[in-house]
Amino acid sequence: MGTTLSRLQLAQRIHKLLVKEIEHAIEVERLLADPRYARDVLLVCEAVPGGELGALAALFREASAGQPGVPGHAAQANDWGRDTSGFGMTQPPSLAGPMPRTASLHQASRRAGDSEPAPLAPARPSWLPRWRSPK
């Protein structure tokens, strides 16, 4: 398969193979227009073992190289967020402030055999009616 395929043809082939391989359909138009959706779909394609989905994902990225909003890493205009995919820091470390304190690790790692019993979870209401014996 050459790189002469258009982005639309690649998107349609990816759609058909995803339906066949993992029984999940994608929106072809959104794949072509939304860079974040395209990134997610291409990551799924690369995660499916075997087949040609990984190669199609690489071809789609190559065909999208000249497009604005290329799926993948986005270069940021600041020093602290350079070359991030969006899952990094949302603000510089100097402005982030201290981490919120939660339960200490020592308290969270206690076992039932320690000095005090582990707390019980509250009982969940059942959707089944309770059987009562006649009096």
- Find the mean pLDDT for residues 80-99: 57
Question: Percent of the chain having pLDDT more than 90?
Answer: 41
Task: Provide the whole-model pTM.
Answer: 0.49
Instruction: Specify whether the CB–CB gap between 71 and 10 falls below 8 A.
Output: no
State the angle between helix axes of 7-22 and 35-47 in degrees (0 to 180), rounded to the nearest 10. 50
Mean pLDDT of the chain: 74
Write out pLDDT tens, residues 32-67.
999 999 999 999 999 999 889 999 999 999 999 877
Burial of 57 (0-12, 13-18, 19+ CB in 10 A): buried
Q: How far apart, in whole angstroms, are the C-alpha atoms of residue 4 and residue 34?
A: 22
- Phi/psi for 107 (5° steps) reads -70, -35
Instruction: Specify whether the CB–CB gap between 54 and 46 falls below 8 A.
Output: yes
Write out pLDDT tens, residues 17-36.
999 999 999 999 999 999 99
